Amino acid sequence: ARPIAGLEALPILGLGTQFTPEDLKERVSDQDFRRLGDELTEDAVLAALRAGVRLFESGNKHVNQQAVGRTLQQAIKDGLVSRAELFVSGRICKCRDEAEVRREVDMLLRELRLDYVDLLVMDIPPERAPTAWPWAEA
């Protein structure tokens, strides 16, 4: 971990939570992929927490944010970790205008069952980047 102004330390190792069909041993239906993906996610997040990992990354393209949120909340409830110990990064991809960003952030927080993320990454179409920052930083 590295010291950062305003933070005790930033973890240098984290878990990205995106799973793809290639992560499964066999081809399954979309519904089964979602269920199995959630199980893989929950198992991976819990194993990472037990191993001492405190940085987690999730995004709205990952499709499994709810599983990440459920697992983090259960770990907090069980006393395995506190929210203050976690560094959670969220990624949103629909960044065309302020209203869309606000909707995506609200959904991100709701699905992760968090009041805030420690880092928000926005995928912005290149043509929109110069005009995005005034409202994105608000």
Residues 6 or more apart in contact with residue 29 via CB below 8 angstroms: none
Contact of 52 with 94, CB cutoff 8 Å: no
Q: Which tokens is 136 given?
A: 């994105």
Share of the chain above pLDDT 70, in %: 78
| Reported confidence tier of residue 78, pLDDT bands at 50, 70, 90 | very high
Contact of 75 with 46, CB cutoff 8 Å: yes
Convert the pLDDT of each residue in 30-50 to its tens digit: 777 778 878 888 999 999 999
23: which strand partners? Answer: none
Contact of 107 with 61, CB cutoff 8 Å: no
